[in-house]
Structure 1
Amino acid sequence: MGRLISAQRERRRQRQRQRRRRIRARDDRVPLLAKRGRSSWEQDDRSEGRKRVKYSGPDLPQKIWRHIISLVPMQDAARAACVSHAFLRCWRFYPNIGFSNSTVGCNGVLTKAETARKFASKVNQVLKNHSGIGLKSIKLEFLGHNSSDCSSLDSWLRVAITSEIEELSLMLSSVVATYRFPCSLLSGLRGNSIRYVHLSGCVFRPVVRLSCFRSLMNLRLYHVRISEDELGCLLSSCSALELFAFGYCNEITCLKIPDILQRLHDLQVVGCNALRVVESKALNLSSFYFGGKREQLSHGEQLKNLTMPHRRALDNAHAMLPTTMPNLETLDISLRLKADTPMMHSQFLRIKYLRITVDGYAFPRINDYISLVPFLDASPCLESFFLQAAEPMEHESIFRDPSPLRRKPGHRHDKLKSVTIIGFNSAKSLIELTVHIIENAGSLESLTLDTADCSLGCSDSETKRCSTLGQSTLMEVPRALFAIRRYVEGIVPSAVKLAVLEPCTRCCDAS
């Protein structure tokens, strides 16, 4: 009998030990912070008589927790704040906030008014729990509806624009710019740390110089209503500016870059139809992207990179670029080819990279590619030449013109090493240009002839998406390949790497 009682007691002790091990194993899954003290963890007595550990807050310094939460995506950090008071305290100092239709879940079948109300409700709910302290960047992308649909924009910006803010993005629907940006929020000590500003689809009327923009390095204004005087006042406040992008403003006819912008090295202008004059006194400006018609351009002599994609930007490029941009090294232009391009004698003295996109919408569309030889001849330092050819007309094909190929004697391109032609076709003048380059570029190392812009296609790779080719392109590719075999391959020196790109069978089937 005594042995039976002893066995029962031993089994009872074993069950108790197993229960204690299970409790310890469960508690060990709680972060080790629980074992450091009672400041963040509490003992909670339950009806079962067991004691449970309950987490009531982080035991690390607040700055460390805030840094950890700042590394979490905004949506995840916001969800965590909804389930924990500790994470809510960290959320009040979350540094990077961004709102768009997708982030607030407005991608459904709601009407514009319903979407605007839902967007405003979500943003109000999130910003209500944010103190504004520690906020470094905010992005408000309120697209698809008029700014008048949201009456809370001012209050959102009032929370965002503090003495600590570094990045500010406000993108509104650009159909009608009606929202007046509250420039008064930028007065005093507010915004002194701003380094990046992107405004789109609003009215910006600074009445005085904004002292808070002294640290501004990147300024982007698109679809913004602003006068020439106001823009000049704004730019005069940005002595640290390094990049200025300006576009789609029809109130500006003359864009003047003041000499106070000594750090400005990148200027981008696009879609300003009323613009007639671009004048820059920024001595260190090195890159200029101009996406409009050329009227009158004046730049400092330090400009090295020029991009002008508008098809009518450089009808007279040979006449105006050399005198105003003597240090140009990279030129990316779109133009119409003319058979009467005049001779040029070493006018682009420092250009090393030349990219030309041929206007495919010229009328009558007869592109004389060999007229580009004067451009090459005028660039004695040219090393890389990239040509985007236009789709040929039927009458331009070399197979319709049996006359001998034209030659351009007396032209040498001794430093040209790399040539790429995208959209290579059977146009006779294009083949004449290719033959001319092969015969007169003694340092040529590589020649790439891409018949259908295959560099963006699949190249027979399972991981890339096939291109959708037009019927005219599919019909032209065999003619282009035959022209390469007949007129080009046989004269390419052995030291030159020839690459002929064509669409794969899946590209053709997909089209």
Structure 2
Amino acid sequence: MGVLALGRLISVQRERRRQRQRRRRTQARDDPVPLLAKRGRSSWQQDDRSEGRKRVKYSGPDIPQKIWRHIISLVPMQDAARAACVSHAFLRCWRFYPNIGFSNLTVGCNGVLTKAETSRKFASKVNQVLKNHSGIGLKTIKLEFLGHNSSDCSSLNSWLRVAITSELEELSLMLSSEVATYRFPCSLLSGLRGNSIRYVHLSGCVFRPVVRLSCFKSLMNLRLYHVRISEDELGCLLSSCSALELFSFGYCNEITCLKIPDMLQRLNDLQVVGCNALRVVESKALNLSSFYFGGKRGQISHGEQLKNLTMPHPRALDNAHAMLPTTMPNLETLDISLRLKTDTPMMHSQFLRIKYLRITVDVYSFPHINDYISLVPFLDASPCLESFYLQVAEPMEHDSIFRDPSPLRRMPGHRHDKLKSVKIIGFNSAKSLIELTVHIIENAGSLESLTLDTADCSLGCSDSETERCSTLGQSTLMEVPRALFAIRRYVEGIVPSTVKLDVLEPCARCCNAS
């Protein structure tokens, strides 16, 4: 509902009031005293005019203020703020508006302004809006002050002082991550009564909690990025969040050892990314089921209950091949990135529960070559695997099967009887990739679907004539015909009739756009 809809509602109400006024005037001529006696005091008043007539005037809306506040709360913040400028009734509702968010976009700070001008305009706009807000009823506050130093804005403390109340549920403060200089006023939280806060997102600031925060007892979602905080302070913070369900932590370079205490029994999702100094991640949370680790390498210690693991950095598994099966025996979903070599360590058959495996192969620099057939041990170590998703690197000229006439390698004795779906994104004519595909076809007796996507067409191609397709690199465009020829020559003839083979290639518009 926008301002126009509110305007139509007000017009309808005015017309209804006019009709009621006409009826009351008619009744007042016949018997004005009983009418006034019946009504008593109300928002309708009568006054005498020079000609002896009595005119009824309306002093306010006849809709309860609580309903008006609810209606205004459904309006986007910009429209609600504009409405408050033209109506006292709307202004009174704005004082209790529940969800407030500010960013360079919402306050109209475009890229033409300098950093200093942007800071001044941002502060002026926010001050102008918040000065009319009582702080009562505020549920969500989001301050996205990016693109300039947080020290340029001297009003952050006063804004947070208005926003952080016992009714607040969501708090987001995102500052420029270039230099984290703003010190978050923890005293506003430590002295806060109540436990209504459910979501906290802090970015680009200094956060130094030295005592447990009782207001975080109901906190379920905590996100810290580019935050300067020590290990002891982080431990103090986490000990205050007994209801925490998701903890996302990134680019905090003061932390070398991340310890998740066992008191976080509701924590089920842990995300760690970009912490270069981090060496150890140790979790004692009993119900942690999903872990995203975006670091290069580190010692990972989790309970046996972990079911979903994502490790996108290609070096994260350099020393983890033997560790993963023993420390995480209940994994069901594994999403990893790695580089393949002919001497890739063999995997022990201990991924007994993995059903979904996604591998993204990182690009090697010449003269190294990714050897895709070395992925067979991963498949063999997962006897319950049902879905296999492979994102391959760009091919190298000397890696093509058309430049190596030697017979295809076979790896007999490896069966993948529960594998049903295989998708290879960026399929090319690399000989080892052809060998892997042939191996899967010959050894996956339950295979139902095989998708070979030559250029990530599922994301690049558009079904609409008005939308543009993604631009493809020259090397990809040159490789697609070779990949299609390799599929026809080595793959299509050995695919069983029970397997659905989908071969995806760029459309004509993709090629023209490139």
**Between the two proteins, what is the percent identity of the paired residues?**
93
TM-aligned CA deviation for residue 383 of structure 1: 0.3
TM-aligned CA deviation for residue 187 of structure 1: 1.9
Deviation string 1:226-271 (CA, Å, 9 cap, x unpaired) is: 0000001100110000000000011000000001100000000000
The 3 A distance-change label for structure 1 pair 7 and 175 is closer
Contact kept, 8 Å, 2:273 with 2:295, in 1: the verdict is yes
The 3 A distance-change label for structure 1 pair 11 and 275 is closer
Deviation string 1:159-212 (CA, Å, 9 cap, x unpaired) is: 000000000000000000000000000123346211100000000001111111
Mapped to 2, the partners of 1:305 and 1:94 lie a distance apart of: 40
TM-aligned CA deviation for residue 294 of structure 1: 2.1
Contact kept, 8 Å, 1:460 with 1:504, in 2: the verdict is no
Aligned residue for 1:194, secondary structure, equals coil
The 3 A distance-change label for structure 1 pair 195 and 28 is farther
The 3 A distance-change label for structure 1 pair 5 and 403 is closer
- Tell me which residue corresponds to 1:3: 8
TM-aligned CA deviation for residue 341 of structure 1: 2.4
TM-aligned CA deviation for residue 104 of structure 1: 0.8
Mapped to 1, the partners of 2:34 and 2:432 lie a distance apart of: 74
The 3 A distance-change label for structure 1 pair 478 and 20 is same
Mapped to 1, the partners of 2:104 and 2:11 lie a distance apart of: 71
Deviation string 1:414-436 (CA, Å, 9 cap, x unpaired) is: 00000000000000000000000
Mapped to 1, the partners of 2:72 and 2:335 lie a distance apart of: 44
The 3 A distance-change label for structure 1 pair 42 and 477 is farther
The 3 A distance-change label for structure 1 pair 104 and 10 is closer
- Shifted more, 56-65 versus 201-210: the winner is 56-65
Compute the TM-score of the two structures, normalised by the length of structure 2.
0.90
The 3 A distance-change label for structure 1 pair 420 and 49 is farther
The 3 A distance-change label for structure 1 pair 492 and 84 is same
TM-aligned CA deviation for residue 152 of structure 1: 0.5
The 3 A distance-change label for structure 1 pair 324 and 55 is farther
The 3 A distance-change label for structure 1 pair 422 and 226 is same
The 3 A distance-change label for structure 1 pair 372 and 34 is farther
The 3 A distance-change label for structure 1 pair 122 and 21 is same
TM-aligned CA deviation for residue 157 of structure 1: 0.3
Contact kept, 8 Å, 1:163 with 1:193, in 2: the verdict is yes
The 3 A distance-change label for structure 1 pair 92 and 497 is same
Contact kept, 8 Å, 1:458 with 1:464, in 2: the verdict is no
Contact kept, 8 Å, 2:101 with 2:143, in 1: the verdict is yes
The 3 A distance-change label for structure 1 pair 177 and 11 is closer
1:407 paired with 2:410, answer yes
Contact kept, 8 Å, 2:190 with 2:212, in 1: the verdict is no
The 3 A distance-change label for structure 1 pair 338 and 83 is same
- Shifted more, 458-467 versus 99-108: the winner is 458-467
Contact kept, 8 Å, 2:347 with 2:381, in 1: the verdict is yes
Deviation string 1:270-302 (CA, Å, 9 cap, x unpaired) is: 000000000000010000001111220000111
Mapped to 1, the partners of 2:335 and 2:151 lie a distance apart of: 41
* Deviation beyond 4 Å, 4+ runs, structure 1: 1-13, 16-56
Aligned residue for 1:83, secondary structure, equals coil
- Shifted more, 31-40 versus 493-502: the winner is 31-40
Mapped to 1, the partners of 2:114 and 2:327 lie a distance apart of: 52
Deviation string 1:297-319 (CA, Å, 9 cap, x unpaired) is: 00011100000001111123421
Contact kept, 8 Å, 1:186 with 1:210, in 2: the verdict is yes
Mapped to 2, the partners of 1:495 and 1:43 lie a distance apart of: 86
The 3 A distance-change label for structure 1 pair 332 and 74 is same
Contact kept, 8 Å, 2:428 with 2:483, in 1: the verdict is yes
Compute the TM-score of the two structures, normalised by the length of structure 1.
0.90
Contact kept, 8 Å, 2:43 with 2:60, in 1: the verdict is yes
The 3 A distance-change label for structure 1 pair 135 and 395 is same
Contact kept, 8 Å, 2:28 with 2:35, in 1: the verdict is no
The 3 A distance-change label for structure 1 pair 11 and 244 is closer
Mapped to 2, the partners of 1:26 and 1:70 lie a distance apart of: 42
Aligned residue for 1:31, secondary structure, equals helix
TM-aligned CA deviation for residue 342 of structure 1: 3.4
TM-aligned CA deviation for residue 375 of structure 1: 0.3
Deviation string 1:97-149 (CA, Å, 9 cap, x unpaired) is: 00001111111521111111111011011110000000001000011111111
TM-aligned CA deviation for residue 355 of structure 1: 0.2
The 3 A distance-change label for structure 1 pair 2 and 296 is closer
The 3 A distance-change label for structure 1 pair 169 and 2 is closer
Give the gaps of 5 or more residues in structure 2. Answer: 1-5
Give the gaps of 5 or more residues in structure 1. Answer: none
The 3 A distance-change label for structure 1 pair 413 and 83 is same
- Tell me which residue corresponds to 1:204: 207
Contact kept, 8 Å, 2:341 with 2:371, in 1: the verdict is yes
Mapped to 2, the partners of 1:288 and 1:2 lie a distance apart of: 50
Contact kept, 8 Å, 1:57 with 1:85, in 2: the verdict is no
